[in-house]
Amino acid sequence: MKTIVKSPGSATIINAIATGYGSAFGIKRYVTAEVQLKGSDSLIICRANKNIDTTLMEICVKRVINKFKEVYSNIEFYTGFSVYTKSTLPVSSGLSSSSATSNAIVMATAKALMKEYNINPDKNRINDLELLNIGVDASLEAGVTITGAFDDASASFHGGLTVTNNNTREILKIHEMEQQNILVYMPNIISPTAQSDVRRMKLIAPQVKLAFNEALNGNIYNAMTLNGILYCASLAFNPKIALDALDAGAFAAGLSGTGPAFVAIAPNENVDNVMEVWSSLSGQVFCTEVDNEGTMVIGSG
């Protein structure tokens, strides 16, 4: 039994590390997970199209199995799993590759088990929030996140824009985001979130709260730019990268997550200008769009 799920990455409006409150939106770069049930040997075999540590992948599968054993205690779950992921998201970039990976594998594993054991979906037993939280818990256990990144994970899971309380794992606001040109600048470095300096980020908490209030009030562009510049200062990234995008006509620009990626939102007439400014830097630049669909099954067999 095979199930294929794709899950989008996300870009930051508010990084939640400083205050526990965050906001993000889905982007059309994806992690695709193919989960296949194999025999009854209980082995979990994980592979990826990129040279990455597969610990997170295995933890996601184990956590789903444990949840199913807890909820459906009358069923004997004996099966092995083959998991394969492929990604168009750069890793350790600030674009939520870990959250997308968790969401894709958790949903694919859950759907595959439901199909194999003839379990009818029951939102009162295992619902979307349950699946989302399994992925967040898996990311925490794997050590790829500091807070669990509930803001990133929820935007990846549901698509569109989410505003969240990461401390309580509550979605405060969620809605589709207007289609925009999303430009991403990726320097030739990686910046694993779990290795970031939390103490330095906590220093800017009062200012990040101001940015969060802007997001909560719907002033997304102001929130994104202020947040991005604040975290640049905290994490020693160059804010000039964001300011150059603004000078070239972007509505908003800033650091995504804990970097190193910078994200800008630009109107059609200024896309080329922003691309030109960022293309002069060392690294790569690409243009994408908002994803409002979120994590979904795209195949089974």
Give one DSSP letter per residue of 81-113, joined into a string.
Answer: EEEEEEESSPTTSSS-HHHHHHHHHHHHHHHHH
Distance CA 266, CA 137 (A): 35
Same-domain check for residues 27 and 97: yes
Same-domain check for residues 228 and 111: no
Q: Is 228 helix (H, G, I), strand (E, B) or coil?
A: helix
296 is a domain residue: no
| Model pLDDT, residue 88 | 93
Name the residue range of residue 122's domain: 2-176
| Model pLDDT, residue 146 | 83
The number of angstroms, rounded, from the C-alpha of 18 to the middle of its chain's C-alpha atoms is 18
| Model pLDDT, residue 13 | 98
| Model pLDDT, residue 78 | 82
Is the distance from CB of 293 to CB of 159 less than 8 angstroms? yes
| Model pLDDT, residue 194 | 61
The domain spanning residue 36 has which CATH number? 3.30.230.10
Last residue of a domain, one of 123, 155, 176: 176
279 phi and psi, to 5 degrees? -70, -15
48 is a domain residue: yes
Same-domain check for residues 97 and 232: no
Is the distance from CB of 250 to CB of 241 less than 8 angstroms? no
| Model pLDDT, residue 193 | 66
87 is a domain residue: yes
Same-domain check for residues 196 and 159: no
Distance CA 95, CA 242 (A): 16
Same-domain check for residues 32 and 15: yes
* C-alpha pair distances (Å), 294 with each of 7, 94, 111, 116, 162: 6, 18, 16, 24, 11
Q: Locate 101 and state its tokens.
A: 């990976």
Same-domain check for residues 194 and 121: no
The domain spanning residue 283 has which CATH number? 3.30.70.890
79 phi and psi, to 5 degrees? -165, 155
Give 10-residue mean pLDDT values along the chain (301 residues). 94 97 98 91 86 92 95 89 94 92 98 92 84 97 90 98 97 96 92 76 97 97 98 94 98 96 98 98 96 96 72
